[in-house]
Amino acid sequence: MKLLFLACLNPNTGNHTTAERIRSHIESAGHTCELRDATEFQSPAEVANLVSRNPPFEGALAIHLFRAGRLLLDIQVPFGVIFGGTDINEDVKVEQKRVIMEQVLLKARFAVAFTDKLKEEAELFLLSQSSKIYVQPQGIQTEATEKFCWAEFLRSSGVSSEHVDELRVFLLVCGLRRVKDPLYLVEVFSEWHCENPLNVLVIIGPKIDPVLSVEVEAVAKSRGLFGPGEEPTGASCCHEKVLRCGQQLHLRGHVSSHLGGHGSRGTCVGQGHSRKCSCGAA
């Protein structure tokens, strides 16, 4: 089967990572999957023309009902859609967008939500199409480089190595941009860390929004935290949270419990499972 797959493919975003993972899975099953950036197309008519070219596509898939799914409304082959956090957290609040999203959901052969919560909210805010929506949780696979040393990574990040094996490290994979603003999490985690210094938060990811990145580092320093490459001294040692933009860890897949858009404030603090990490393991 030849499939067209539309998604917003901005570099270093969860959408891009998720789309590549799904494309790889489809192709490993023996199908042909052409992944295209939704921003390449101006209208559903352009996509319809592409789908009908010889040899024609036999089906289509899209991530985000509004951003990409709306471009599939004119095609004459079956298609499926995958909900993104922006669909429910942002776009559904705009009446014009919501109407289009309902049209997409009505025409789609199926829809996929990554969590039960996302499905429930889709059924609440959009026309009820519960029979079409399937919940399929995302997974994450992590690998450490051959020469990676967890203890050394923490030391280079400014975390004192005195009790490395006893630390409870919470790793937030988060490209720094407004919709994924981790500032409130840093502030709340700071209080939790003061209660127990063994609780450490590591934020790792690219600086997608340079302006926000500067703000995050400024807040970190003002609260006794420290930025990339800084070695803490004196009082700052009692606040061992780390703001890292390093590439020491190779991460594949998308973290399904990411902070998906505005409106989710305060829901993710302390929900992860603590795990002891030693040298060479991440």
pLDDT: is 224 or 174 the higher one?
174
**Residue 69 reports pLDDT greater than 70:** yes
Express each pLDDT in 145-201 by its tens digit.
778 787 887 777 777 667 777 888 888 777 777 776 677 777 788 788 888 888 888
Ranges in the chain annotated CATH 3.40.50.2000: 2-135
Express each pLDDT in 121-147 by its tens digit.
998 888 766 788 999 988 766 676 778
Local confidence band at 59 (pLDDT 50, 70, 90 cut-offs): very high
According to CATH, the superfamily of the domain at 2-135 is: Glycogen Phosphorylase B; (3.40.50.2000)
Token digits of residue 2:
């030849």
pLDDT of amino acid 75: 96
Express each pLDDT in 72-114 by its tens digit.
999 999 999 999 888 998 899 999 999 999 999 999 999 999 9
Cα gap 177→18, rounded to integer Å: 18
Rounded to two decimals, the pTM is 0.65
Count CA atoms closer than 13 A to 92's CA, side-chain side: 23
pLDDT of amino acid 141: 67
Cα gap 257→208, rounded to integer Å: 20
Token digits of residue 173:
């994979």
What does residue 115 show for φ and ψ, rounded to 5 degrees?
-140, 160
Local confidence band at 4 (pLDDT 50, 70, 90 cut-offs): very high
Express each pLDDT in 9-49 by its tens digit.
987 777 888 999 999 999 999 999 999 999 999 999 999 99
Local confidence band at 221 (pLDDT 50, 70, 90 cut-offs): low
Local confidence band at 227 (pLDDT 50, 70, 90 cut-offs): very low
Cα gap 247→173, rounded to integer Å: 11
pLDDT of amino acid 56: 92
pLDDT: is 134 or 249 the higher one?
134
Q: What's the mean pLDDT in 55-73?
A: 95
Of the chain, the end-to-end C-alpha distance in Å amounts to 38
Peptide bond preceding 55 in cis form (omega within 30 of 0): yes
pLDDT of amino acid 180: 67
Cα gap 193→125, rounded to integer Å: 38
**Residue 249 reports pLDDT greater than 80:** no
**Residue 265 reports pLDDT greater than 60:** no
Instruction: Give which of 248, 239, 206 is closest to 221, Cα–Cα.
Output: 239
